[in-house]
């Protein structure tokens, strides 16, 4: 595995004619990242190359969030990538990615207005800007993203369409712990009680799916009620939206998305399910 930390050095590892598939991450790698990397390998083919980027992107953390304390287990991440045969690890320092007087950003202006975008102003501008930069630096043929960050995936697809990137975007279904909690680098912030109670998220989404309810309000109320029964949970949002436009829906229709963000203590978790 080649490990590159300087943007200019990427040119040294271009393999002529080989298909490069990129998995962008912020590190603290876990089983779900492993699944994205496995899917990347499938898409790269026998002679292709799987590239993983690890960069905790300061631009996508809103003020007062967990940028400073976000886990950065460098050695474990590198070992993780080696064990699953990643070909290229790109791990730039913040100074390598951004000029202090940077003044150009990539801003998606429709899909970003709801859900995470509403709760975390500037977040998707940071995400789009860094992903565009990673695309420009690494020139992948395809890139893999998880459906846990459903809105992010939709926004990246829109960016690729609107800015004419010749990059296939591949989505991967949410990978979960045995008890249903979606893997996340932030799960390690949870204490024992919070971790136990966090299983309510998946249970509430499944209850909504199984309820057969069609009214957006009734579905959201049901999920809110179940989650509120967990004493350590504080709901940020629960929303039924169109899975393409991400705009709120009054009724479940084909291609709906039920998405939520909930704090357990200081830790903010997200999850979602497609309906009907």
Residues that bind ligand AMP (CB under 6 A): 25-26, 32-33, 36, 145-146, 148-149, 172, 174-175, 182-185
- Closest approach of ligand AMP to the CB of residue 208, in Å: 19
Of 3 and 222, CB closest to ligand AMP: 3
How many whole angstroms separate alpha carbon 144 and alpha carbon 25? Answer: 10
109 within 8 A of 158, measured Cβ to Cβ? no
How many whole angstroms separate alpha carbon 72 and alpha carbon 88? Answer: 18
Of 72 and 266, CB closest to ligand AMP: 72
Residue closest to ligand AMP, measured at CB: 146
Residue 229 burial by CB count (10 A; 0-12/13-18/19+): exposed, middle or buried?
A: exposed
- Closest approach of ligand AMP to the CB of residue 250, in Å: 28
CA distances for 251 relative to 141, 156, 206, 210, 216, angstroms: 38, 26, 17, 15, 5
Neighbours of 75 (CB within 10 A): 7
How many whole angstroms separate alpha carbon 13 and alpha carbon 212? Answer: 52
- Closest approach of ligand AMP to the CB of residue 54, in Å: 8
Catalytic residue among 30, 33, 43, 123: 33
Neighbours of 6 (CB within 10 A): 11
Q: Which residues, listed in sequence order, are joined to residue 50 by a DSSP beta bridge?
A: 21
Of 46 and 69, CB closest to ligand AMP: 69
Of 252 and 272, CB closest to ligand AMP: 272
Residue 30 bears catalytic tag: no
Q: Which residues are tagged catalytic? A: 33
């Amino acid at each position: 595995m080649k490990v590159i930390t300087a943007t200019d050095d990427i040119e040294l590892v271009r393999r002529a004619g080989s298909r490069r598939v990129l998995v962008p991450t912020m590190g603290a790698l876990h089983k779900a990242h492993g699944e994205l990397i496995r899917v990347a390998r499938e898409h790269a083919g026998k002679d292709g190359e799987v590239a993983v980027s690890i960069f905790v992107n300061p631009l996508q953390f809103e003020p007062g969030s967990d940028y400073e304390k976000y886990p950065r287990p460098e050695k474990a991440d590198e070992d993780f990538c080696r064990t699953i045969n990643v070909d290229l690890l790109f791990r730039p320092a913040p100074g390598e990615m951004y000029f202090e007087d940077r003044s150009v950003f990539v801003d998606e202006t429709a899909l970003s207005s709801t859900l995470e975008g509403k709760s975390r102003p500037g977040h998707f501008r940071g995400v789009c800007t860094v992903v565009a930069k990673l695309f420009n630096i690494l020139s992948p043929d395809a890139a893999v993203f998880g459906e846990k960050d459903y809105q992010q995936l939709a926004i990246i697809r829109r960016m690729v369409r609107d800015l004419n990137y010749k990059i296939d975007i591949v989505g991967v279904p949410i990978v979960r712990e045995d008890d249903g909690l979606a893997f996340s680098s932030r799960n390690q912030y949870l204490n024992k009680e919070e971790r136990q109670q966090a299983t309510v998220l998946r249970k509430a989404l499944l209850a909504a799916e199984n309820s057969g309810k069609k009214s957006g309000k009734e579905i959201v109320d049901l999920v809110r009620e179940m989650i509120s029964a967990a004493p350590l949970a504080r709901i940020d949002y629960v929303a039924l939206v169109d899975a393409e436009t991400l705009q709120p829906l009054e009724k479940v229709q084909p291609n709906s998305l039920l998405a939520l963000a909930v704090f357990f203590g200081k830790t903010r978790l997200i999850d979602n399910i497609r309906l009907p």
